Structures are given as structure tokens and as C-alpha cells.
A = this chain, B = another copy of it.
């Protein structure tokens, strides 16, 4: 190690350490949860939800209990520890000193794991919805293995249970992991009914206080968003995102905004619609698409300029 190198590095180390001391060194770093451990938990939970597809294969139904037991003990260990960290970290930040984080983590983890069969039943309906709704689906195995919509909704249904159990940090870390993987951004607070299908999915945003009924189908680029977030943290907790009732379909690129906006039962929202008011049951909303201008490159091909408008 040359002297120049030593001097340079040691000088840079000092300025970096000084910057830590000055600014935003994490509060209570000793109890921050670990993002990698949380992601490992997600993978193990996914194995539990779809056994034989992910992780260990060649499972036999008669002896699968041993595999499930083994997996559950690992999930318990990892998640219990992370939930404990998240609770302690929150308590320290809020100045609560009396919390029994271990006991509370215990209660949460059992309540969460007891939900697995129900989450699984719902996800099987989601897979069915994907199969029924997508002519490009070869079979349900293909959907379980590869559909980003199913992956995002699987992680959402897990994260949402932890959100309901008031676990700090971890639900959002899970949700944003799903977002990063799939391009589908579902806040763990969103309430989503059964038989839900997101097709293609890239660019979908479903905000924290969205409520979605049963048998709903949405496509890539759909936003269920807030009308304005200029209130910032003052809006925290308010219903800012829309409600979709049962059997709603929302085609690609549509935006539905606002906490008072209710999309009634059976409504179909066309591609690229921009909706900020409620729509009554059974309505079909389509965009009168902007005029298209056509210019021919050569006069023999098409008339020099003509305008054609259409409605889907």
C-alpha cells in the first residue's frame, strides 16, 4: 500500500465520518430491520404459498407436512427477528421505553402465519382470474411461474396482512421489493378483493387508501391515485385514493384519482381515460380519442392530409 494511497484514503475516510456525525446517521441503528432478510422471508413465504413451484420440488403430498414444518420454523425465525427490530426501532423513535417487543412480535407472527391458508385460497382465485382473462395464458402453471401480476399480488396480500397488524417498515419494504421486481406499485395499505387480475402490469400504481372489490381486472399503466398531494404529511391517513366496486375493468393507461371517486359495480373504463369523479354502476366510459392527423409521404399512397376520428 503506497503512502499516497494511505494518505488519500485516510483523508477521505475522515471527511465521510465527519459527514455522518453531522447529518442523518440513522437513529437507533442497532435495531433497524434488515432488507435482505425480509426479502429472504418473501421467497420462503412464496414457497409456502405455491409449494412445488418455487424452492424445493418433487414434493409428495403424504409427507409434505415435514417440508412445511421446516419452512415455517425458518420463516418464523427470520420474520420474528425482523418484526422485533422494526417494533423496537419504532418504539425508540417514539420514546416508548416499556415495549415488550419480543412478546408483541410473537403475537404478530402467529396471527400472520394463521392467515396463510386464507391468503393461499385467495391467490388461487387470482390465478384462475388470470387464466380466465388472458387468451395468451397457456395454463395455470405458466401463470404461477411467470406472471408479474400474480407475483405482485402475492407479495401484496402478505404485506397487507402485516400492515393490518401495524408492523412498521416491513410491509412497505416488501411492497417496494414487488414494485422493483414487477413494475407494479401497490401500497401495502390498499384493500383488494378476490379474483383480482393485473395483466402485463408495468407502470400500475395502486395508492395506500384504494379499495378494490371482487372480480376486478386492470391493465398496464393504470393509476389509482390521489388528486393532489400538495398537503404532504398533513394528508397522512386521509382517504386519498379511489374505490372500485365489484366487476370493474380498467384498460391500460387510465388514471382514476381522488378519495371520493367511486367506480360503480360493473363499470368498464377505457384506455387512457382520466377520471376524477364517480361513475355510476354499469357504465362504460371510453375516451373520445384525440383527432389523428395523417400525412402521406407520397401523394400516390394517400391523400396529402386527412383527418379521421374514431371511437373504440
Instruction: Kindly identify, within residues 274 to 297 of chain A, every residue whose CB is under 8 Å from any CB belonging to chain B.
Output: 274-277, 279-297
Task: Name the B residues within 8 Å of A279 (CB-CB).
Answer: 294
Bound together, the chains give a CA A20 to CA B69 distance in angstroms of 14
A133 touches B9 (CB 8 A): no
Task: Name the B residues within 8 Å of A308 (CB-CB).
Answer: 277
A101 within 8 A of B: no
Bound together, the chains give a CA A231 to CA B135 distance in angstroms of 8
Task: Name the B residues within 8 Å of A121 (CB-CB).
Answer: 19, 23
A208 within 8 A of B: yes
Task: Name the B residues within 8 Å of A290 (CB-CB).
Answer: 272, 274, 287-290
Given A9-B69, A185-B200, also A138-B168 (CB < 8 A): yes
Determine how many copies of this chain the complex contains.
Answer: 3
Return the chain B residue nearest A280 by Cβ. Answer: B302
Closest CB-CB distance, A275 to chain B, in whole Å? 8
A255 within 8 A of B: yes
A88 within 8 A of B: no
A145 touches B173 (CB 8 A): yes
Binding site secondary structure of chain A: mixed
Return the chain B residue nearest A189 by Cβ. Answer: B136
A13 touches B202 (CB 8 A): no
Given A25-B51, A225-B252, A233-B135, also A287-B295 (CB < 8 A): no
Closest CB-CB distance, A71 to chain B, in whole Å? 9
Of the residues B25, B50, B54, B189, contact of A61 by C-beta under 8 Å: B25
Task: Name the B residues within 8 Å of A311 (CB-CB).
Answer: 293
Bound together, the chains give a CA A295 to CA B253 distance in angstroms of 20
Closest CB-CB distance, A164 to chain B, in whole Å? 15
A229 touches B135 (CB 8 A): yes
A12 within 8 A of B: yes
Closest CB-CB distance, A141 to chain B, in whole Å? 6
Task: Name the B residues within 8 Å of A35 (CB-CB).
Answer: 53-54, 145-146
A293 touches B301 (CB 8 A): no
Of the residues B133, B181, B205, B226, contact of A232 by C-beta under 8 Å: B133
Task: Name the B residues within 8 Å of A99 (CB-CB).
Answer: none
Residue numbers of A with Cβ under 8 A of B are 5, 8-10, 12-21, 23-27, 29-30, 32-35, 48, 50-54, 57-59, 61, 64-65, 68-69, 72-73, 76, 89, 93, 110, 113-114, 116-117, 120-121, 124, 127, 131-142, 145-148, 151, 168-169, 172-173, 175-177, 179-183, 185, 187, 189, 199-200, 202-203, 205, 207-208, 220-221, 223, 225-227, 229, 231-238, 240, 252-253, 255, 266, 271-277, 279-298, 301-302, 307-308, 310-312
A-B contact pairs, 12 of them (CB 8 A): A10-B69, A14-B65, A24-B124, A24-B127, A132-B233, A141-B169, A145-B176, A146-B172, A148-B179, A253-B253, A273-B292, A283-B297
